[in-house]
Structure 1
Amino acid sequence: MFQLIWIVIVGAVLGVLAKMLLPGKQAIPFWLTVLLGMGGALLGNAVAGWIGVRHTSGVDWIRHLLQLAGALVLVGGGSSLWTGMRQKT
């Protein structure tokens, strides 16, 4: 149970950081920001595993940066898709 709460917290932090770092306004709801942040964390962990830096001694800075990069990609893309879908209706 605690792990699920932790995943949501990390997703929220990564999603909000991604929204702050991306230029312009990302007009997506908070729940979508959290989901895309969670997806970015998963994507970053997968890439870290593929390149062999998932488990290192000390703080895993490379893995955390990859998670943030994943969140940036997903929030940026998700924002474009969300805006496009909302304008069609």
Structure 2
Amino acid sequence: MGFFSFLILGLLAGAIAKLILPGKQGGGWFVTLLLGIVGAMLGGWLGGLIFNVNLQGFFNLSTWLLAIGGSILVLLIYGMIAGRRADK
């Protein structure tokens, strides 16, 4: 998968993860892009480690599920960190 397709995958995976998670997550489209890219990388790494599956192609279902799952995980961690900062 190319660099730009990975950026698009990260942006869309981050946006889908924000839609799936309840509540209001902070950050605009740039934060969504960054968290989506980190989530896609994390999902691909965990998928390869646990399920022996990797991010193969842009239109592959396992690629999207791993990227969205990783983005959800990253958004949850980001929410816990940003939530602590906002409470202070």
- TM-score class, shorter-chain normalisation, is 0.7 to 0.9
For 1:54 and 1:81, locate their aligned partners in 2 and report how far apart those are by CA, in whole Å.
28
Provide the C-alpha distance between the structure 1 equivalents of 2:52 and 2:74, rounded to a whole number of angstroms.
Answer: 22
Is the deviation greater in 32-41 or in 44-53?
A: 44-53
Query: Aligned pair 1:21/2:20, yes or no?
Result: yes
Q: TM-score, normalised by structure 1?
A: 0.75
Gaps of 5+ in 2: none
Give the 5 Å matches for 1:3-22. 3-22=2-21
1:83 matches 2:83: yes
Cα RMSD after superposing both structures: 2.4
Q: Which has the larger radius of gyration?
A: 1
TM-score by length of 2: 0.76
CA contact (8 A) 1:12 1:34 kept: yes
Residues 16, 33 of structure 1: 8 Å contact kept: yes
Percent of counterpart pairs with the same letter? 29
How far off its partner does 1:66 sit?
A: 1.8
Q: Report runs of 4+ in structure 1 exceeding 3 Å deviation.
A: none
Unaligned runs of 5+ in 1: none
Deviations 1:20-43 (A, max 9, x none): 000111122322211110011111
Aligned length: 85
Distance 1:9 1:78 in 2: 20
